[in-house]
C-alpha cells in the first residue's frame, strides 16, 4: 500500500542511518583515543580492572623512587665502610711495622693518629638525605622494596630491614649520643678492647707499648677489620637485593601495562577497516533515504492529466 501520510521505506532507511551513525561515532572514538574500553559504559568489568591496575602501576612507580633513594643510602654507607677498611688496613700495617725492635713508635703513632682522624672524617661524611648508616644512633632502618596486592584485594608495602648495631662486632663505625651526634666510645672503632691496653682502635696509642701490648693492639685492629668487612658484606648484599628489586619492579610495571593494553586498547587495524566500511554504509543509507523520500512524489503523476 502506498500512503502519503506514512512513508515506511523512509522510516526504515532513517533507522538504518541512525544505527550506522552510532556505530561510526563509537569507532571514531576508538580511533581517536586508541581505546576499545575508554569508560565504564564500554565494558564495566574491563574498565574496573584496568583502573585498579593503573593505580597499582602508579604505586610501583613510587616504589621505584623509594628504591632509588634506598640504594643511594646503602651505596653511600658501603663506600664509607670500604674507605674505612682501607684506612684500618693502613693502621694494621703501621702496628705490624712498630713491632720491630728499634723502631720509633712515636713517629709511627703520628701516622696512626692521622689515620684515626681520617676514620672520623669518613664516618661524619657518610650521610645521605640526613641519614648516616655507618655512624650515629643504633636502631632499625629499612628500605622500601615492594608494593603487593594480595588475593583478597588488600595492599601493603614491603621493606628490607637493616639494623644498626654500635658494638665492637656490630656494623657502625661509631655510635651516637641519642640526639644525632657521633660519640667515640662505641661502635667498631670506638669500643675499647684488649685485656691490658683496654683502648679502642680510634684511641689507640702505641707509644711506649711493650711486646705483649703490641700483640694486643694488633689483635684489636684485626678484630675491627673483620667486623668492618662483615658490615661491608651485609651492605653489599642489601645493595644487590635492591638492584634486583629495581629490575623486577621495572619488568612488573611493563607487564602490567601490557596486560592493561590487552584489555582496553583498540586494534587500530580492525577499527580503521570498520570505519571505512561504515563510511560506505553511511553513503548507501543516505542514498536509500533519498530514494525513499522521493518515492512519495511519484504519486503526483497519478493526478496529472
DSSP track, 47-83: HHHHHHHHHHHHHHHHHHHHHHHHHHHHHHHHHHHHH
CA count, 13 A, side-chain hemisphere, 71: 16
pLDDT at 74: 93
What integer pLDDT is reported at residue 3 of this predicted model? 67
In DSSP terms, 157 is beta-bridged to 147
- Give CA angle at 243 (237, 246), nearest 5°: 140
Asked if residue 5 has pLDDT above 80, the reply is no
Q: What pLDDT, on the 0 to 100 scale, is given for residue 29?
A: 80
Give the model's pLDDT for residue 135: 95
Question: Which domains can be identified in the chain, with CATH numbers?
Answer: 60-264 (1.20.1330.10)
pLDDT tens figures, 181-204: 899 999 999 999 988 999 999 999
First-last CA distance in the chain: 23
Please state the rounded mean pLDDT for residues 149-172.
87
CB 177 within 8 A of CB 186: no
> What is the C-alpha to C-alpha distance for residues 211 and 116, in angstroms, rounded to an integer?
22
Instruction: Give the pLDDT of residue 305.
Output: 55
| pLDDT, tens only, 264-304 | 888 888 888 888 898 888 888 888 888 877 766 677 676 66
Produce one character per residue of 16-41: b if its CB has 16 or more CB atoms within 10 Å, e if not: bbeebeebbeebebbeeeebbbbeee
pLDDT at residue 20 above 90? no
Calculate the CA 183 to chain-centre distance. Answer: 34
* Dist. CA 181–CA 177, nearest whole Å: 5
Residues in Cβ contact with 123 at an 8 Å cutoff, skipping those fewer than 6 apart: 80, 84, 132, 134, 135, 173, 174, 182, 189
Amino acid at each position: 500500500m502506498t500512503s502519503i501520510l506514512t512513508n515506511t521505506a523512509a522510516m526504515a532507511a532513517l533507522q538504518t542511518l541512525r544505527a550506522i551513525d552510532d556505530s561510526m561515532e563509537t569507532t571514531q572514538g576508538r580511533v581517536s583515543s586508541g581505546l576499545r574500553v575508554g569508560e565504564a559504559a564500554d565494558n564495566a568489568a574491563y574498565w574496573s580492572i584496568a583502573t585498579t591496575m593503573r593505580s597499582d602501576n602508579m604505586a610501583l612507580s613510587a616504589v621505584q623512587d623509594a628504591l632509588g633513594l634506598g640504594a643511594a643510602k646503602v651505596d653511600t654507607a658501603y663506600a664509607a665502610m670500604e674507605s674505612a677498611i682501607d684506612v684500618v688496613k693502613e693502621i694494621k700495617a703501621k702496628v705490624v711495622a712498630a713491632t720491630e725492635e728499634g723502631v720509633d713508635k712515636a713517629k709511627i703513632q703520628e701516622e696512626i693518629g692521622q689515620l684515626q682522624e681520617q676514620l672520623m672524617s669518613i664516618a661524619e661524611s657518610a650521610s645521605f638525605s640526613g641519614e648516616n648508616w655507618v655512624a650515629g644512633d643504633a636502631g632499625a632502618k629499612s628500605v622500601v622494596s615492594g608494593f603487593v596486592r594480595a588475593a583478597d584485594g588488600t595492599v601493603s608495602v614491603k621493606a628490607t630491614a637493616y639494623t644498626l648495631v654500635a658494638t665492637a662486632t656490630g656494623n657502625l663505625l661509631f655510635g651516637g649520643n641519642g640526639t644525632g651526634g657521633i660519640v667515640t666510645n662505641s661502635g667498631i672503632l670506638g669500643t675499647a678492647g684488649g685485656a691490658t691496653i683496654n683502648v679502642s682502635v680510634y684511641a689507640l696509642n702505641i707509644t711506649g707499648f711493650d711486646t705483649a701490648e703490641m700483640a694486643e693492639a694488633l689483635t684489636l685492629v684485626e678484630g675491627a677489620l673483620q667486623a668492618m668487612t662483615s658490615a661491608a658484606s651485609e651492605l653489599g648484599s642489601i645493595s644487590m637485593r635492591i638492584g634486583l628489586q629495581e629490575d623486577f619492579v621495572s619488568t612488573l610495571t611493563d607487564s602490567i601495562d601490557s596486560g592493561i593494553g590487552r584489555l582496553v586498547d583498540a586494534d587500530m587495524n580492525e577499527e580503521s577497516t570498520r570505519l571505512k566500511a561504515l563510511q560506505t554504509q553511511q553513503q548507501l543509507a543516505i542514498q536509500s533515504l533519498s530514494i525513499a523520500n522521493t518515492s512519495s512524489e511519484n504519486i503526483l503523476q497519478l493526478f496529472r492529466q
